Amino acid sequence: MELQKVTFEEDVIWFCEDCKPMKAENSETVQATDSADNSVCYVEPYLVNVVVAPIVLSIIHKHPDFSQDCPLSRGTISNLLQRLGMELKKVTSFTSENLKSEHLKSLDYAIRDAEFAKLNVNSLRYWHDQLKRGMHLLDLHQLRNKIKIDMANRKELPVSTKTTLNDIGKDIQLLKRKAASLEIEIQDQGGSMRDIALKCLSKIKRFCDRTLARGLL
pLDDT tens for each residue of 93-149:
877 667 777 778 889 999 999 999 999 988 888 888 888 887 777 777 777 777 777
Contact in structure between 88 and 107 (CB atoms under 8 Å) = yes
* pLDDT tens digit sequence for 144-201: 777 777 667 766 655 554 455 566 566 666 666 766 676 666 666 655 555 655 565 5
Q: Tell me what the mean pLDDT of segment 41-62 comes to.
A: 87
Report whether pLDDT(4) > 50: no
How far apart CA 94 and CA 215 sit, in angstroms, is 16
* pLDDT for residue 206 is more than 60: no
14 pLDDT band, cuts 50/70/90, is very low
- For the chain, the structural domain boundaries read 4-128+211-215, 132-208
Average pLDDT over residues 38-51: 85
pLDDT score of 84: 92
Yes or no: say if 5 and 30 are a contact pair by the CB < 8 Å rule: yes
The predicted pLDDT at position 108 comes to 93
User: Looking at residue 23, what is its pLDDT?
Assistant: 34
- The CB-based long-range contact list for 201-208 (8 Å cut-off, 24+ gap) reads 201/96, 201/138, 203/130, 203/131, 203/134, 204/96, 204/99, 204/131, 204/134, 204/135, 204/138, 205/96, 207/92, 207/96, 207/99, 207/131, 208/92, 208/94, 208/95, 208/96, 208/99
Residue range 19-47: average pLDDT? 55
Q: Is the pTM here over 0.75, yes or no?
A: no
Strand order in the sheet with 30-32: 4-5, 30-32, 40-43, 46-49
Which range (12-26, 127-141, 202-216) has the least confidence?
12-26
Question: Inter-axis angle of helices 122-155 and 162-188, to 10 degrees?
Answer: 160
The one-letter amino acid at 18: D
